[in-house]
């Protein structure tokens, strides 16, 4: 009979919790959005749509960048689900990526231009960002 080792369960739980901390956060409300951008430091938000091909293409790259630049908080907003947040930011093209500091927009990139995204992250984080 197969027995479950309790130590492996604890390890699996702690491992999955640590993975969740490194993921790009999905913003699901205006309040959550406002709290996130009001934090000290930099916040990078990817405004995307599920039907957008370039958005799907850069998603894994944004995930990798979030691991490489832990000094910056990374998040995503589905513009079709969070229309009010999209309106607040004047989003008219996807993907639009905005870097926030102290509650307001600091810089951004419209389109899936990975080179420009890395340049902006490098400029504002003070650290060379590469994939």
Catalytic residues: 52, 55
Sign of the CA dihedral with 31 first, then 83, 105, and 23 last: positive
- Say how far apart CA 24 and CA 119 lie, in whole Å: 19
Closest CA to 106 of 95, 120, 116, 94: 120
């Amino acid at each position: 009979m197969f027995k479950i080792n309790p130590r492996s369960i604890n390890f699996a739980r702690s491992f999955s919790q640590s993975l969740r901390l490194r993921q790009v956060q999905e913003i699901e409300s205006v309040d959550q959005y406002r709290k996130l951008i009001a934090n000290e430091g930099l916040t990078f938000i990817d405004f995307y749509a599920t039907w957008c091909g370039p958005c799907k293409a850069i998603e894994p790259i944004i995930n990798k960048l979030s691991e490489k630049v832990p000094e910056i908080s990374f998040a995503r907003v589905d513009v079709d689900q969070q229309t009010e947040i999209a309106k607040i930011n004047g989003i008219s093209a996807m993907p639009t990526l905005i870097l926030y500091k102290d509650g307001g927009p600091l810089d951004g990139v419209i389109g899936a231009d990975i080179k420009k995204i890395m340049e902006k992250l490098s400029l504002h984080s003070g650290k060379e960002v590469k994939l």
